[in-house]
Amino acid sequence: MGITIRDVAEAADVSATTVSRVYNHSDLVNAKTKEHVRRVADQLGYRPNAMARSLSRGRTQAVGIIVPAPHGEFFSEIIRGIDDVAHGDGYYLLISSAHYSVSESEAALDALRDRVDGLLVMTTHVEAQRKVLAETEIDSPVVFMNSAMGESRYDAFEIDNRGGAYVATQHLLDRGYERIGIILGPPDSHDVRERLDGYRAALSDAGVDPDAQPVIQGDFTQDSGYAAGQKILNLDPLPDAFFACNDYMAIGAMAALQEAGVHVPGDCAIAGFDDIPSARYTTPSLTSVQVPTYDLGRQAAQRLFELIRAEESTEPGHHTLPSTLVVRSST
């Protein structure tokens, strides 16, 4: 038979009720006692019965996360921010990927909604996701991440995609580049639409016709960036510069150009978006728009837990986190 809550209570010289309160995150136990009880429990090898604890509290002790893709430094930083908050609240994460698909996003929501106390959703299909949420009448709190919600009953945290793309394009213009192309991500992505809008606005404001610039389709992966780079090589004349809608595509495109003997930035400059950690280690190092991905996850999770603990409904808030251009050697 395993270690019980009474064994912990006896070894820690406290009541079983106190031990229970410690693992239910009750405010009735002071920090010193909590630390003592947890230390003793760890020494004994005690593992609380999560199912029994959640039933007694009417909670699952889990939050669900739906993201467009299961991989990449961008998403991992967001999840790290969420996890730091969730861990501090004694919660676990259930993560599902929508693979940039409406149907898979709906399936993920349906699979998670009865298993979690709240949901953090990042979707490229905002309207479809809102429709599904309305139809399922989900009772748990929902917070959207990096999704344009407009007038909505859901809280939302997003990145200044348009402003970041504008500044990156303006930087290329300020460097003297005139023919500046763009590498797009998935066509139905909110991020891509916002970044394309910022890119076009910067060109227009500088008196450059955005419709005259080369546009190459990608899908946010490094492979699609490499394929975009091969298409760039076939353009005549070669553009002065390219803005890629994320760093993975920028890095892939840069590799294709360099393999063909095209010098970056001498023959063609490249800027990206997201400023993933590896951007600074490419050769040349990649100019990129830095976005607060960790803070996006952290702030969204903090708001979700506020909603989980709230005794009555509150007005939803829509928050935009700033983005900053980091200039490196690729431009």
User: What residues does 119 pair with on adjacent strands?
Assistant: 64, 142
- Residue at 3: amino acid letter: I
Q: Is residue 126 part of a domain?
A: yes
For 235-269, how does the pLDDT look when each residue is reduced to its tens digit (9 = 90+)? Answer: 999 999 999 999 999 999 999 999 999 999 999 99
Position 138 pLDDT exceeds 50: yes
Q: In terms of domains, do 135 and 149 share one? A: yes
283 and 180 co-located in one domain? yes
Number of domains observed in the structure of the chain:
3
**Residue 53 amino acid letter:** R
> Which of 303, 297, 302, 329 shows the shortest CA–CA distance to 316?
303
CB atoms within 10 A of CB 75: 19
Beta-carbon contacts of residue 84 (< 8 Å; ≥ 6 apart): 298, 301
**End-of-domain residue from the set 57, 73, 89:** 57
Is residue 171 in a domain? yes
| Residue 256 resides in a domain | yes
Q: Nearest 5 degrees, angle CA 98-CA 313-CA 30?
A: 95
Rounded CA separation 34/193 (Å): 49
* Cα–Cα distance, 106 to 133 (Å, whole number): 9
Query: Are residues 100 and 31 part of one domain?
Result: no
Say if residue 154 is in the same domain as residue 299. yes
270 part of a folded domain? yes
User: Which pLDDT score, from 0 to 100, does residue 140 have?
Assistant: 80
Distance CA 321, CA 145 (A): 11
Number of residues that make up the chain: 331
Q: Is position 114 within any domain?
A: yes
pLDDT score of 64 more than 80: yes
**Residue 329, domain member (yes or no):** no
- 308-314 long-range CB contacts below 8 Å, 24 or more apart? 308/63, 308/117, 308/118, 308/140, 308/141
> Would residue 330 count as lying in a domain?
no
Please list the alpha-helical segments (H only) found in the chain: 5-12, 16-23, 31-44, 50-57, 73-88, 102-112, 126-136, 161-174, 190-205, 222-233, 247-259, 293-309
Are 46 and 89 part of one and the same domain?
Answer: no
Based on the fold, state whether residues 153 and 299 are members of the same structural domain.
yes
Query: Residue 244 is part of which domain span?
Result: 161-290
Query: Is 129 a member of any domain?
Result: yes
Q: Considering only 22-36, 44-58, 305-319, which range has the smallest mean pLDDT? A: 44-58
Task: Read off the pLDDT of residues 168-224 as tens digits, 9 standing for 90 and up.
Answer: 999 999 999 999 999 999 887 888 999 999 999 999 999 999 999 999 999 999 999
Instruction: Give dist(CA 177, CA 331) in Å, integer.
Output: 10
Is the domain of 234 the same as that of 132? no
Residues 165 and 274 in one domain: yes
* Residue 55 pLDDT exceeds 50: no
Task: Specify whether the CB–CB gap between 216 and 172 falls below 8 A.
Answer: no
Say how far apart CA 221 and CA 79 lie, in whole Å: 19
DSSP characters over 75-115: HHHHHHHHHHHHHHTT-EEEEEE-TT-HHHHHHHHHHHTTT
Q: Are residues 185 and 218 in the same domain?
A: yes
Average pLDDT for residues 62-68, to the nearest whole number?
89
Q: Which of 26-30, 76-80, 237-241, 286-290 bottoms out in mean pLDDT, i.e. has the lowest?
A: 26-30
Q: Same structural domain for residues 308 and 264?
A: no
pLDDT of residue 74: 84
For residue 104, the domain's CATH number is 3.40.50.2300
17: CATH = 1.10.260.40
Whole-number pLDDT of residue 285: 98
Q: Are residues 183 and 279 in the same domain?
A: yes
pLDDT score at 127: 61
Q: How far apart are CA 138 and CA 75, in angstroms?
A: 25
pLDDT given at position 51: 45
pLDDT digits (tens, 9 = 90+) for 12-40: 998 877 887 787 666 778 888 988 988 99
What are the phi and psi torsion angles at 221 (to 5°)?
-90, 160
Same domain membership, residue 139 and residue 31: no
